Every structure is written in structure tokens, then in C-alpha cells.
Amino acid sequence: MSSFYHDLAADAGTPYWLYDEAVLQRRLSNIAWLTEGPGLQPRFAMKACPATRVLAAMRSHGLWIDAVSGNEVLRARHAGFAGGNDPPQILFTSDAWRDNALAVIQQERILPNLGSPGMVEMLRQAGYRGPIALRVNPGFGHGHVNTCDTGGPSAKHGIWHEDLPAVAGAAAAAGLRVVMLHAHIGSGPQPAELLHNWQRLAAAFETLLPLFPEATAVNLGGGLPFNYRAAEGREAWLPDLRDLLVQIAGRLARAAGQAGLRVEIEPGRYLMAPVGTLVTRVLDVKRTRGDARGPGVTFVMVDAGFNDLLRPALYGAHHALQVLRGEADEPVTGEVAPVVVAGPLCEAGDVFTREANGLLAPRLLPCPQPGDLLLIHDVGAYGYAMSSTYNSFGPAPQFWRTSGGEVQMMSRRGTLADLLRLETG
């Protein structure tokens, strides 16, 4: 029997992150097939997992980058992506610039993607006179949960579609050429919803493109679905999406009056979610007793918290769980019972099994024991990238398992010295 997870835990401690190169290679092959052909270009939404090793893998497979901060742009440059905007290997998408954003746009000459009308004037005042992209809020969209909606009246992202003529005029007056239109309408709960919304988005862009005669590209955003609750059928919708993407590319090229119009997509979660696993150790199992407020609960206490993986606490995200026992990494089987998995933080919300409405969602698991390892699956996207040092815990280390089975450290465990280094007094 393999002892891989326990051996790595013995060497590195827990919790730790593990990324599987073989899984990433399979997902990248799918994206390559999906975007095969002239005029189709995938970008990686690097906020999902901005580690240099991951960015290097994206670059080697021909993906470009969607960055959302000045530092993300610089991280992409560090990983080998070219600056400049012809072609725009790095797109800088933002609704509100901060820190070094404007300086990075000027210095790296990357393509800024404006998500708010006032950004036109900010660029003019900064002396920028290059090309720009505009992020459109088309009036519809759906995230994988409601708090992740990226289009429609309740979404903060993008320029409302009815305001685009005025923004186009302001851009022209400022000497800014609009060379790309962009929208991101979210993952949605089902693949069928993405297909339907991309049809709607294509129709919206067909109407908008005549307003922007210098546009050479349209970006349909990300939102390729990923089913966190079932591994079966995760790829079944890809042929339908491929057919639709080719169809949309032709429609938009005709609307723009140019056969060479580039059509882009931005997978993030789809590429990275199944690549990552968070490995944590069971420290204790304890129980409460029921009263008038509700039933008692069995709590499985582990050493990972929402400082490591925020998604379940933030919006009730579901992640598959697996219990391993003994040095042979034996999966625990047999009778299951409802348990709530909770972490070490001094926060009542530090729970990995919670619904989007905030209520506890006990998970049926073979009852763990102290010393077991608990694997939290499908955490490669928006996992480590959203972690923090809350309660003064340092970031857990990241490891990369190559296709050949070799394990390489990507980042070490954070220390107290790391936490204190930024303090000035």
C-alpha cells in the first residue's frame, strides 16, 4: 500500500497543499482542444492560483493571462509572459485600481481592461494614450453561488451595457482606442446555463461591436463549470461548448466586419480546481448534546482552518472529503455517521461543512479518529490564493507532484519571522 500522504505529512507537517501535474495536463489538453483553430485564444484567470510553477505550465501550453492587480501582472512577467499589448499576452482587468496599478500599466505596456467608466479619465490624467479593453456588464449572469454573481444589476463588475456609448465617446476624446470588449457572466450552477448565457452574450456583443470599429478581440470571460459534488460527467458538456464557441466566433467576426477577430475565453476554476488537495490531520473528535435550539453535533477537529481554505466559510462551498488511516494511507470505509469538520481558529465560522446560508451541513463520513489524515479535494482554484495569516498562523506549504511522481516544494511553511517582517515598530 502507498504511504505517500503520511510520508509527506511526516516530513512537512500538516496542513499542506498538493498539486498534481498529471491532472493539470489533462485539463490543459481539454482547453487546447476546446480552443483549437484560428482566432480562438484561452487565457488563464491567474487569481485562481498564481503560483509561478502553475503560471509556467500555462505559458508552456500557449495560454495567455488575465491579471487583476498590478502585482499579478508582475508575477506573470516573472513567470515569463511577455509585456506589451501586441499581442496582449497579459490582460489587466480591474474595477478599481490601487497601489501600483497605473504605474504597471505604463511600465509594462500591458492592455488595461476597464471595469468602471471613471477609469478612462484616470488613464488620461496619467498620460496613458495606448489601447484599452472595456469590461461590459451585459445585464445578466450567474455565479456558482449568488454571492459570486458577476453580471446583472447586483454585480459590481463591469460597465453597464447602456452606458457604453458614453464611455466610447469619452475614450475617443481621451485618445484611447478600444481594441477589445470583455464580459464575464460566471459559472452558473449547470453547464446548460453557461451555454444559454453565452448565446445571449454573443447576441449582446453583436449589437455592441459596431460602436467599436477598432476592436480586434472579444473576450467571453470564464465560468467554465466545475462540479464539486460529483466527479462523473465533469467533461460531458465540452463538445457542446466547442460547437458553440466556433459558432460564436463566426457570428462575432461577421458583426465586426473582420474575419481575423480574436475570440478569447478565461478558464480558471475549470483548470485548477481538481489539481489541488489540502491535506490536514484529525486532532480530536468531540460531541455536543441537543437542546431546545437544535440537535447535538459530532465535531471532527482538524489542523487546517479557513485561514487555509476560505471557500466553505465564505460562501458554503462544497468539497469532497476523504479519511486516510495508518501509514499505508488506507481509505477508511465502513459505517458512516454525520460529522461536522472544523478547524483551529478562534472563530465559530471555522467550519468546512457548511451550507451557503451559513447553517451547518454535517457530512456522512466513516468516523475519523485522532491521527487520521483528512483530504479536502478539488481545492486547486481559489484555495491557497485566498488564504490568510489570521490567528497568526503562517501559510501552509505547497507541493507539486510531477507526472513522473516526484514531489517538489513550491513554497515553504510560513513562520513567525515572516509575519513580523512587515511590522515597523
Tell me the CA distances in angstroms from 208 to 38, 134, 203, 397, one per residue in order.
Answer: 23, 11, 9, 46
Q: Count how many Cα atoms sit within 13 Å of the Cα of residue 325 in the half-sphere of its side chain.
A: 9
How far does CA 70 lie from the centroid of its chain?
Answer: 17
Q: Which three cell numbers stand for residue 337?
A: 455517521
Tell me the residue type at 352: F
Contacts (Cβ under 8 Å, ≥6 apart) of 393: 305, 307, 308, 344, 345, 414
Cα dihedral: 360, 366, 367, 368 (round 10): -100
Q: How far apart are CA 59 and CA 73, in angstroms?
A: 14
3-state secondary structure (DSSP) of residue 214: coil
Give residue 139's pLDDT: 86
Q: How far apart are CA 3 and CA 335, in angstroms?
A: 24
Give residue 151's pLDDT: 61
Strands 407-411 and 398-401, by their bridges, are antiparallel
Residue 294 DSSP class: B
DSSP lists the bridge partners of residue 338 as 364
Q: How far apart are CA 82 and CA 302, in angstroms?
A: 42
Q: Which pLDDT tens digit goes with each residue over 245-255? A: 999 999 999 99
3-state secondary structure (DSSP) of residue 181: strand
Q: How far apart are CA 157 and CA 90, in angstroms?
A: 19
Query: What b/e readout covers 105-138, taking b as 16+ CB neighbours within 10 angstroms?
Result: beebbbbbbbbbbebbebbbeeebebbbbbbbbb
Considering the entire predicted model, what is its pTM?
0.94
The per-residue pLDDT string of the chain (425 residues; one tens digit each, 9 = 90 and over) reads 578 999 999 999 999 999 999 999 999 999 999 999 999 999 999 999 999 999 999 999 999 999 999 999 999 999 999 999 999 999 999 999 999 999 999 999 999 999 999 999 999 999 999 999 999 999 886 654 454 556 667 778 899 999 999 999 999 999 999 999 999 887 555 788 888 889 999 999 999 999 999 999 999 998 788 889 888 778 888 999 999 999 999 999 999 998 899 999 999 999 999 999 999 999 999 999 999 888 999 999 999 999 999 999 999 999 999 999 988 889 999 999 999 999 999 999 999 999 988 899 999 999 899 999 999 999 999 999 999 999 999 999 999 999 999 999 999 999 999 999 999 98
Tell me the residue type at 146: N
Give residue 340's pLDDT: 98
Angle at the Cα of 47 from the Cα atoms of 83 and 250, rounded to 5 degrees: 70
φ/ψ bin of 358: left (φ > 0), alpha (ψ from -120 to 50), beta (otherwise): left
Q: How far apart are CA 374 and CA 370, in angstroms?
A: 10
Give residue 300's pLDDT: 98
φ/ψ bin of 108: left (φ > 0), alpha (ψ from -120 to 50), beta (otherwise): alpha
- Of 215, 129, 127, 211, residue with least CA distance to 178: 215
Domains, the chain: 4-16+274-416 (2.40.37.10), 21-272 (3.20.20.10)
Q: Is 125:102 a contact under the CB 8 Å cutoff?
A: no
Strands 276-287 and 373-377, by their bridges, are antiparallel
The whole-chain average pLDDT of the chain stands at: 93
Angle at the Cα of 265 from the Cα atoms of 259 and 268, rounded to 5 degrees: 165
Give residue 153's pLDDT: 75
Give residue 326's pLDDT: 87
Cα dihedral: 74, 78, 80, 81 (round 10): -10
Annotated catalytic residue, options 49, 148, 346, 367: 346
Q: Is 49 a catalytic residue?
A: no
